[in-house]
Each structure stands twice: as C-alpha cells, then as structure tokens.
Amino acid sequence: MSREIRAEPLTAEAFAPFGDVLELRDAPDKMINAGLCGRHHDLAALDFGPEGRAGISLFDAQPRSFPYELTLLERHPEGSQAFVPLTEHPFLVIVAPDVEGKPGTPRAFLTTPHQGINFHRGTWHGVLTPLHAPGLFAVVDRIGATPNLEEIFLDPPYIVVP
C-alpha cells in the first residue's frame, strides 16, 4: 500500500467533510462602512462545547518542506479550531476521516493566498504546517480546563508531496 499522499488544491467543496474554508465568497453578504467594505459573514461552524469559550491565540510554527513526513494526527474532541494565516504564503492542511475512532487515510490540501480554514470539532488533522517563514497564524479555538487533545502516531509515516 502506497504511503504517498499528493496535496490537492484547497476548495470549500473538497474540504466540507472536515471543516470550513475561510475565503471570500463570490459576493459579500452585506456592504458596510458607506459601501467601502464587504462583509462575508459568519464563515465557520464554531463549536466550543458546553464548558468552553472562544479565544484568539497566535501560533508561531517552524516552516516545513516537501516531501513532508506525516507522523502524527490529532483531534480536539471538545472544540473546533480555526487557522488564519498572518502572511500571504500558502500552507499545508492535512486531515483524515474518522474510521471507528481512528484516523483513516489522510488527505492533504494546499491553500492559496488569503485562505484560512476551520477544523470542525473532532476532526482528525495534522499539526500546523506552514511552508514559508514566518509561520504565523491567528487561531480561534476552545479555551477550557481540559486537555482537549487526542494524538495518533503513524508508523510507518505517510509522505506528502506537492
């Protein structure tokens, strides 16, 4: 069985089983500020569980490169997690379907500039993988008292290629 995964372009349709793509729609939902600003409204299914609340954090991640060795998938059972890049560089987004409580075969997506993503609550995903420095992202996720983390190590790893 091949362990090679080819990165696909990130589209809302392809990513829908895993989460939301944060990008401009064809037209804004509303023009505000005397017509000078388009509001593309409420693009992410946020879910922080009954005990959590929303927070904004910044993540500063080391850039990776292709071929990328995928050794770890994780999920947050108690909350969604959104990533907004603070740069215009593409980054790599890795997800996997859930198969009886474990991740199935992963899929990899490559963003275009000005795309962010929101992982739905409980979605298996790879760690943050920028491809360029600085690897800076605003993250909207659950603030709460629990660890809210499940990790699965992959042996042998998958290899993600462009």
Which residues of this protein are in contact with its own copies, per CB under 8 A?
Answer: 22-24, 28, 32-34, 36-44, 46, 48, 53-62, 72, 82, 84-88, 113-114, 116, 118, 127-128, 134-136, 138-140, 143
Q: Specify the residue, 6 or 146, whose C-beta has the smaller distance to its own copies.
A: 146
d(CA 65, CA 96): 20
CA gap 45, 122 in Å, rounded: 12
Taking the C-alpha atoms of residue 27 and residue 40, their distance in angstroms, rounded to an integer, is: 8
Closer to its own copies by CB, 6 or 55: give it.
Answer: 55
Q: What is the three-class DSSP state of 60?
A: strand
* CB 126 within 8 Å of CB 19: no
Least distance to its own copies, CB of residue 82, Å: 6
By C-beta, is 1 or 27 nearer to its own copies?
Answer: 27
